[in-house]
Amino acid sequence: MGDTKVDLKDKRILDLLDRNSTASLSEIAKNTLLSKQVTDYRINKLVSQKTIYSFFTLVDLGRLGYSLFRVHIKLKNVSEEEYSKFVKSLFGEYPTFWVAFVSGSFDIIADIWAHHANEFDEVFNHILDRHKKIIYSYEIFSLLELVLYDYGYFLDKNTNRHKVSIFKKEEIVKIDNMDKKILSVIKSNSRFSYEEIGRRVNLTRNSVKYRIKNLEKQGIIAGYKMMVDFKHFNRLSYKIFIKYDHSKIDQEKKLLEFIQNKSGILAHTKLLGKWNLDIEIQPLDAKDLQRFIIEFRTKFSLIESYELVQIIEDYGIDFYPTKIK
């Protein structure tokens, strides 16, 4: 954790923000028995020390006609400088949702937006052409659905966890340029007031409120989520990639219910390709992870095989990239 400190009062605040990241200072103060001033100070401290690295607005680009494609990339032996340049390029120069450095049979996970497979092919061919000297091999998957859960581990283990499903292909809706400006403002800070958003996009408070409520009603804003640095809680972060035995697919519903009732599981993603399911988990330690895997495999014979990778570094997440077409 370095110089960062998270005490019990901080954890009470984090637990509330975990369940409702847009909760008002008054509501948080009341439920944590702190003053508004102390609550505000502690939240700002958690943000400044990067324990909280963002309050995301969960923009569902699937509702705007986009699909999400995942690439697992294995690199050649390259210098740290070349590697860093490549990662920054992936996240900053393309319509990228998420990039991470992992340990396992590959080195990088990159999730990239496109309207359809042909558009993704054009984008990824551009990446390959620019970085062919360092990309050794790759695998491509289509993401069918991403489900995000509350962390549930700041205080007592919380098994009654809220979930938000996004990127599932549904009816496509259209928005105007002002809605796009609002989404760009709030994508990484869902705690901005209507007044603050209005100042940034030159609208009145009521106009901003109306538009945001309408974006929520349309499902373009699927929800809001605080995300934290797992290292500040002495946690590890892993992905478990699972291949199904499709003759036992009737077990999937119970398997997903089991996941929701386990604190520390941050998300699951349905995939099309070599793997059927990706579970992101932040256990206390390697033993905690192994206990989960043993219980998981024992309960569900649907699991034909799995691969475990550790997330070493999360390079960023963007629910509304500026590079989308």
Q: Rounded to whole angstroms, what are the CA distances from 157 to 43, 255, 257, 264?
A: 22, 19, 16, 9
Reported as a single tens digit per residue, the pLDDT across 264-276 is 899 999 999 999 9
Domain map (residue ranges) of the chain:
1-49, 62-151+230-313
Structure confidence at residue 140 (pLDDT) = 97
Q: pLDDT tens track of the chain, all 325 residues?
A: 445 789 999 999 999 999 999 999 999 999 999 999 999 999 999 999 999 999 999 999 999 999 999 999 999 988 888 888 899 999 989 999 999 999 989 999 999 999 999 999 999 999 999 998 899 999 999 999 999 999 989 987 655 788 999 987 778 999 999 999 999 999 999 999 999 999 999 999 999 999 999 999 999 999 999 999 988 998 999 999 999 999 999 999 999 999 988 888 999 999 999 999 999 999 989 999 999 999 999 999 999 999 999 999 888 899 999 988 6
What whole-number distance in Å separates Cα of residue 243 and Cα of residue 263? 23
What whole-number distance in Å separates Cα of residue 7 and Cα of residue 233? 11
Taking only Cα atoms into account, the Rg of the chain, rounded to an integer number of angstroms, comes to 20
Strand partners, 68: 113, 143
Same fold, 1-49 and 62-151+230-313: no
Output the CATH code of domain 62-151+230-313.
3.30.70.3460
- Are the C-beta atoms of residues 165 and 105 closer than 8 Å to each other? no
Q: Given this structure, which CATH class describes domain 1-49? A: mainly alpha
Residue 154 phi/psi, 5° resolution? -75, -35
Q: Could you tell me how far CA 223 lies from the centroid of its own chain?
A: 12
- Are the C-beta atoms of residues 122 and 131 closer than 8 Å to each other? no
pTM over 0.75: yes
